[in-house]
Structure 1
Amino acid sequence: MTSASRPAYETSTTRDLFALGVTSFAGVLLATVAIFQILEGIAAIAKDEVYVNGVKYAYKLDITTWGWVHLVIGVIGLITGIAILAGQAWGRLLGIFVAFIGILANFAFIPHYPVWSIVVIAFWILTIWALCTQLDDE
């Protein structure tokens, strides 16, 4: 069987397959964390009693406002994750930016829901790592 008649996955190098796997992982992770952000935003918008409201700190916003912030970040992140899975190169850079904004938003949201915010920050960091490993391949 000649290389021209072989399927693409048989002629790919291990590095190419690894890159494809990491890119897919990054896209799925970005979309998953974005869904977490959307759910967090909906919970804050729909029912303010879900989160602690009496904390005084430097980044004080109304819980409903925080809900809209998380919802917007989540929707943009979900669209970006889908773009990465579709193979759009711009999705990787936008994904890093969205993850960075997500980290900042969750850091500022820590007083309202500390454990969840830290978990989401960890997932955003993992997303940035996965996307940055692919920048060399572009």
Structure 2
Amino acid sequence: MTSEPSAGRSRTEQRAEAGQSTWALATSAQDAPLSGWLGFAGAVLGLLGIFNIITGITALARPDYFLVDAARLLVFNYPIWGGIWLALGIVQVAAGVGVVYGSSWARFVGIDLAALCAIGHLVFLTAFPLWSVLVIGLSVLVIYGLVVRNGAH
């Protein structure tokens, strides 16, 4: 080996010449096992998304299915609610899949989506009271499951 300066060579090449292995210097992310609450929250978030997709399609296709006519809704009408529930449901399913696969962005998005879902069902309460109360309760469970600290960390 020569003792001349390392002109034009990368740091990896310099380490290879010196006999140091570069693979040992790389760090890898250690995947923590999915906690019970996090897995539950991701699954229920995806399920709520599917429920909201079905509610959206129903509001678009059969507005007479609900208990009140569009004039008695607090805000908007059924086609607008159908679009809102459909869009929210699609994003909730994607966030639920992200949570199950351990994406940190999906946890934050899931919390926001569950809160929006709960608020939306509170406003939609007159149209489908029992179902809205059930979805609000599940949304609160999702928020708890996404916020609670994982015991492994």
> Is the helix fraction higher in 1 or 2?
1
Change (3 A) 1:55 1:113: farther
Count of aligned pairs:
121
The more displaced of 27-36 and 127-136 is 127-136
Alignment partner, residue 111 of structure 1? 126
* Superposed displacement of residue 23, structure 1: 1.2
What 5-or-longer segments of structure 1 have no aligned partner? 1-15
TM-score if structure 2 supplies the norm length? 0.72
**Structure-1 separation of matches of 2:129 and 2:123:** 10
- Whether the 8 Å CA contact 1:30–1:78 is kept in 2: the answer is yes
* Superposed displacement of residue 56, structure 1: 3.2
Which residue identity does 1:56 align to in structure 2?
R
Matched residues, percent identical? 27
| CA deviation map 1:40-77 (0-9, x unaligned) | 111101111111215536x3211111111111111110
Which residue identity does 2:81 align to in structure 1?
W
Alignment partner, residue 105 of structure 2? 90
* Superposed displacement of residue 87, structure 1: 1.1
Alignment partner, residue 123 of structure 1? 138
Structure 1 residue runs of 4 or more that deviate by more than 2 Å after TM superposition: 54-57, 134-138
| CA deviation map 1:79-138 (0-9, x unaligned) | 000011111111111100000010111111001111111111111011001111047877
Alignment partner, residue 9 of structure 1? none
Give me the CA root mean square deviation.
2.0
What 5-or-longer segments of structure 2 have no aligned partner? 1-31
- 2:58 paired residue among 25, 39, 43: 43
